[in-house]
Amino acid sequence: MWLAGRRLHDALAGRALTRTDFRVPQLATVDLAGQVVSGVLSRGKHLLTRIGRDLTLHTHFMMDGAWHLYRPGDSWRGGPDFEVRVVLETDEWHAVGYRLPVIELLPRGEEHRAVQHLGPDLLGPDWDLDEALRRLRSRPAREIGDALLDQRNLAGIGNLYKVEVLFLQGVSPFTPVGAVRDLARLVERARLLLEANKDSAWQITSGDGRRGHEHWVYGRHGRPCRRCGTRIDQAMQGEPPYDRMTWWCRHCQPVPAMTPAPSSARPHPR
């Protein structure tokens, strides 16, 4: 999301829109041609595109959305036309939003309505480690894997970064937040991973960019741990519809002694 926001900003900021096309019922009659895009910024997994003097286009990818940039005359390759939800055109670029489940136009002064629930953004100017730790620790019995994905605690960690930083820190995803020994170091490590990858479309957490070697545990169910050789496990963690697949090494990421059995782990349906 950070990279998508930066690319949209570089393409659109300071340029007048020559055509807009909102393919959602609530905005179908809106025409913003002639308005100048003043900037695009990411906030966690939300994008805020500021248009004209007082409007903001708020979009969110959820699991499948995407923004694509094309030069005028290029073929659009992000999916079939019926998946296009928004088109913003300038003389130099066409920004096409595919499969965006959240699209709304807000008065600039009401941007907070879209993002006020978010915790500190790991890649944002408002990053506040102490506030993120306070929010995480407010529910000490919650499993750390769930807590890291909750954007109300801290904004920006997705499932890949969740499982990878927990492996690097030697923490089981099922450890209660209150039992994590150095929570501040874990969170700061997550921020460093995001910083290291923010300029690239490829997410590399192992330091090895070779195909198939990019990650420690993510997507590696049944394969040997790169550190100890133990078989990597996987399970669904969390409650539907917010559950996510979790991968971990039982040897490198032991659950602390006296910790109850994982409450939310469920075998992945085969």
Convert the pLDDT of each residue in 108-148 to its tens digit. Answer: 999 888 888 899 999 888 899 999 999 999 999 999 999 99
Burial readout 217-247 (b: 16 or more C-beta within 10 A, e: otherwise): bbebeeeebbeeeeebbbbbbbeeeebbebb
Tens digits of pLDDT across the chain (270 residues): 788 889 999 999 999 999 999 999 999 999 999 999 999 998 878 899 999 999 999 999 887 889 999 999 999 999 999 999 999 999 999 999 999 999 999 999 998 888 888 999 998 888 999 999 999 999 999 999 999 999 999 998 999 999 999 999 999 999 999 999 999 999 999 999 999 988 887 888 998 888 889 999 999 999 999 999 999 999 999 877 668 999 999 999 998 765 555 555 555 543
Same domain? For 22 and 111 the reply is yes
Q: Is residue 84 part of a domain?
A: yes
What sign results for the dihedral spanned by CA atoms 23, 27, 30, 36?
Answer: negative
pLDDT number for residue 269: 42
Are 92 and 133 found together in one domain?
no
| Residue 34, both tokens | 């002639």
Tell whether 140 and 243 lie within a shared domain.
Answer: yes
The answer to the question of residue 202 being in a domain is yes
Same domain, 153 and 242: yes
Tally of structural domains, the chain: 2
Separation of alpha carbons 8 and 95, rounded Å: 8
Confidence (pLDDT) at 125: 83
Q: 158 and 66 in one domain? A: no
What per-residue confidence (pLDDT) applies to 258? 53
For residue 76, being part of any structural domain is answered with yes
Kindly give, in sequence order, each residue whose CB lies less than 8 Å from that of residue 31, ignoring residues fewer than 6 positions away.
20
Encoded amino acid at 122, one letter: L
Domain boundaries, position 81: 2-115
CATH code, 222 = 1.10.8.50
Q: What does pTM read for this prediction?
A: 0.78
pLDDT value of position 63: 75
CATH of the domain at 42: 3.20.190.10
Could you tell me if residue 135 is inside a domain? yes
- Note the pLDDT of residue 270: 38
Same domain, 236 and 146: yes
Do both 105 and 167 map to the same domain?
Answer: no
27 falls within a domain:
yes
Q: Is there a single domain that holds both residue 75 and residue 146?
A: no
Q: Which residues pair with 41 in a beta bridge?
A: 48
